[in-house]
Amino acid sequence: MPDDAGWHTLLKTMTMPADIDASGQVPTGWLLARMDLAGAVLPGRHFGGPVQLAGLADVVVSGRPRLGQCITLRGRWVAGDAERVLLDVEAFSEERGVAGEAKLLSAQLRYVRAVVEVPVNIFPGSF
């Protein structure tokens, strides 16, 4: 994706043997989890702190990752304000030694600022 269109590479990873399920496939849930991690990058910069996924829409699954593939996740800012951020995120796979990418998944993700509550005494009896 060209950077001038607003797309940013947010995460690159590779599927490993530990990522496959009992049927020998990489589950789509694995890819959705990586999409959530990648999507949190831009809102984290925007809010200057932790964020949480609040919504997922327009999910289109085009394929499943296979063992040993390089997976690239790219995101594009759609809208944002002081309360929420909306992103388009896409996942692509690359085979080793083969030119080009294949789209695996695209979705629109909505993030909000995370509220992190820490107990007054996190280690009872230590203070």
CB atoms within 10 A of CB 17: 7
CATH 3.10.450.40 corresponds to the domain 7-113: no
In the chain, where the domains are located: 7-113
pTM: 0.81
- Nearest of 61, 58, 32, 37 to residue 111 by alpha carbon: 37
Residue 74: which residues within 8 A CB-CB, separation 6 or more? Answer: 1, 7, 8, 9, 10, 89, 90, 92
Q: What is the mean pLDDT of each run of 10 residues along the chain (127 residues)?
A: 71 92 88 93 91 94 89 94 94 86 94 83 64
What pLDDT was estimated at residue 5? 74
